[in-house]
């Protein structure tokens, strides 16, 4: 079984939380029993999360050797220029080493669900949207990459993993997909 879930902002990619006060987890969304997240999405990121009860499938979905590209829509602070986009495309050097080359393009603001809480709007600071497709998945990688080129991330939404897309799923909704 493979489940596509649209993870809302502020939800942890686990079913329990021992912190006080407890934070929202996957347990509150009526998911089938015995599934777990195949990969992670930070609590302050939104969008597609795949879940399965099949350990082998989870490994194939998350292991970089199987090259499941992950596509993100990223709202950044600032106006990206061609040098910044070229740096993202070539790969940037982070504190844990260089990233692999990335597909990076500026896009029009996508039609997305409202985020709660909303991204802070500042009249004097422009923002823009990028689409990034990565073949690896390090901790907070997209945020670190955009910051490294001078474009801090304001909102991060994963829209696809391989051929599975979040299209048509409201935040907190899920559906079965063919593995």
* pLDDT, tens digit, 9 for 90 and up, residues 60-110: 887 777 778 999 999 999 999 999 999 999 999 999 999 999 999 999 999
* Band (179; pLDDT cuts 50, 70, 90): low
Q: Give the model confidence (pLDDT) of 134-143 as tens digits.
A: 988 788 999 9
Residue 132 lies in domain:
69-161
Instruction: Considering the candidates 17, 42, 54, 127, report the single residue annotated as catalytic.
Output: 42
Whether residue 108 sits in one domain with residue 129 = yes
CATH number of the domain to which 75 belongs: 3.30.70.1560
DSSP 3-state of 91: coil
Res 63: pLDDT:
75
Examine the pLDDT at 56 and tell me if it is beyond 90: no
**44 belongs to the catalytic site:** no
Whether residue 145 sits in one domain with residue 120 = yes
Whether residue 99 sits in one domain with residue 52 = no
Whether residue 138 sits in one domain with residue 115 = yes
Overall domain count for the chain: 2
Whether residue 17 sits in one domain with residue 37 = yes
Whether residue 80 sits in one domain with residue 56 = no
Q: What is the mean pLDDT of the chain?
A: 92
| Alpha carbon separation from 172 to 9, 25, 51 (Å, rounded) | 10, 11, 13
Lowest mean pLDDT among 63-67, 119-123, 141-145, 167-171: 63-67
- pTM for the whole thing? 0.93
Res 132: pLDDT:
98
Whether residue 125 sits in one domain with residue 61 = no
Whether residue 33 sits in one domain with residue 18 = yes
CATH number of the domain to which 35 belongs: 3.30.70.580
Whether residue 85 sits in one domain with residue 51 = no
Whether residue 74 sits in one domain with residue 104 = yes
């Amino acid at each position: 079984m493979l489940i596509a879930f649209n993870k809302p902002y502020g939800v942890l990619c686990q079913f329990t939380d021992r912190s006080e006060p407890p934070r929202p987890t996957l347990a509150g969304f009526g998911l089938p029993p015995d599934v777990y997240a195949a990969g992670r999405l930070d609590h302050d990121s939104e969008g597609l999360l795949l879940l399965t009860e099949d350990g082998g499938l989870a490994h194939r979905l998350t292991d970089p050797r199987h090259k499941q590209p992950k596509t993100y829509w990223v709202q950044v602070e600032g106006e990206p220029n061609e040098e910044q986009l070229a740096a993202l495309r070539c790969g940037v050097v982070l504190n844990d080493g260089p990233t692999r080359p990335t597909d990076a393009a500026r896009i029009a603001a996508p039609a997305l669900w409202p985020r709660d809480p909303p991204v802070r709007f500042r009249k004097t600071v422009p923002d823009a949207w990028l689409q990034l497709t990565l073949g690896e998945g390090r901790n907070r990688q997209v945020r670190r990459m955009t910051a490294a080129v001078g474009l801090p991330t304001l909102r991060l939404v994963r829209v696809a993993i391989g051929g599975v897309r979040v299209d048509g799923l409201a935040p907190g909704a899920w559906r079965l997909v063919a593995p």
